[in-house]
Amino acid sequence: MQGRSGGPGAAGPRRFGAWVAGLLLVCVSVVVGCRVGDTDGITPVPQVLAFLPWLLAPAGLALALALLARWRLGIVWSLAVLALLAWFIEPYGKTDEPGGTPVAEVRVLASNVEFGRGTGALVPVVRARKPDIVFVEECEYTCQSTLRREFGSRYPYRQAVVAGGSEGSVILSRFPLKATAGVDGTMGMPGAVADVRGHDVRLQLAHPMPPLPGQVGVWKRELGRLREVADATRTPLILAGDFNASQDHAAFRRILDTGVRDAARLAGHDRTPSWPARLTPTFGAQIDHVLVSKDFSASSARFLRLADTDHRALVVDITLHQR
């Protein structure tokens, strides 16, 4: 009888299920293969890698379809892909605690205000959270003017790239700053050296190009320049901002390989998404980071929703230790 399980009538749906499962597995396997090969590949792989943990959904669906279709190769394939995804979802980078005596506690806030539109929402957050150092990306002319008016006395020290649109950015500080060379990029990435209780701390704002189709090479080069700063800096370092990259991107892991630590991970928030804000915390990727040298420990990290920007702000409490 055709209606029976395993009869001729069931062959069509099973075959269709196997084809769908195979298509899902091919797509997911390309991305997972690049992660295994420690490369970001080409479009659309870099864009999808940001959401690597969410590939568990299509891989799980492929397994269910393979089971229903009784496709043995598909079942094994699905299980292998799921195992690799589970392995790579584990946090990346070092977490060992710094030695030495604690000499200063520092609160850092990093926020991409999306072409300055989120500035109005950022102002009360800065007042309430009272960070010592503030990194603001996409802070154009109006944003910089607003921050100067609102916090000129509270944050008397600043280092900025004054520009319009997404190219402007600024570092605000309670601590005295000395200007230093920033990082060349499509968007502004200023740098400075802060005097934190008598200790020099290198500050570097991060805002490389996003890995848009046709711009992946630029994205890799600009992340590479940030890696050079992390690798070359011998004083304590805070490297913070919108990296347009997650720990699942090889170009970002190269920065972590220099020995810097992700403060959010140290505080137990290694996978908390920061973008796109309208979908977080249900869905998203953590592309906003505060990276610190091994001179720092981190006690807390909070991702805050701001109106009128597609990024959540990140506030971390870190402690500087004397080596």
- Report, as an integer, the average pLDDT of 54-75: 97
Angle at 83 between CA 81 and CA 85, to 5 degrees: 70
| Structure-token pair, residue 71 | 């496709």
- For the stretch 231-262, pLDDT in tens is 999 999 999 999 999 999 999 999 999 999 99
Lowest average pLDDT, out of 95-104, 213-222, 236-245, 294-303, goes to 95-104
Regarding whether 318 and 171 lie in a shared domain, the answer is: yes
- Residue 10's pLDDT band, with cuts at 50, 70 and 90, is low
Report percent pLDDT > 90 for the chain. Answer: 94
Residue 69: domain span: 8-88
Question: Of 66, 88, 110, at which residue does a domain stop?
Answer: 88
- For the stretch 69-80, pLDDT in tens is 999 999 999 999
* 3 pLDDT above the threshold of 50: no
Regarding whether 80 and 108 lie in a shared domain, the answer is: no
pLDDT given for residue 13 in this prediction: 84
pLDDT given for residue 7 in this prediction: 53
| Structure-token pair, residue 76 | 């094994």
* 64 pLDDT above the threshold of 60: yes
- Residue 8's pLDDT band, with cuts at 50, 70 and 90, is low
Regarding whether 15 and 78 lie in a shared domain, the answer is: yes
pLDDT given for residue 5 in this prediction: 46
**What residues contact residue 88 under an 8 Å CB cut-off, 6+ apart?**
32, 35, 52, 248
The domain total for the chain is: 2
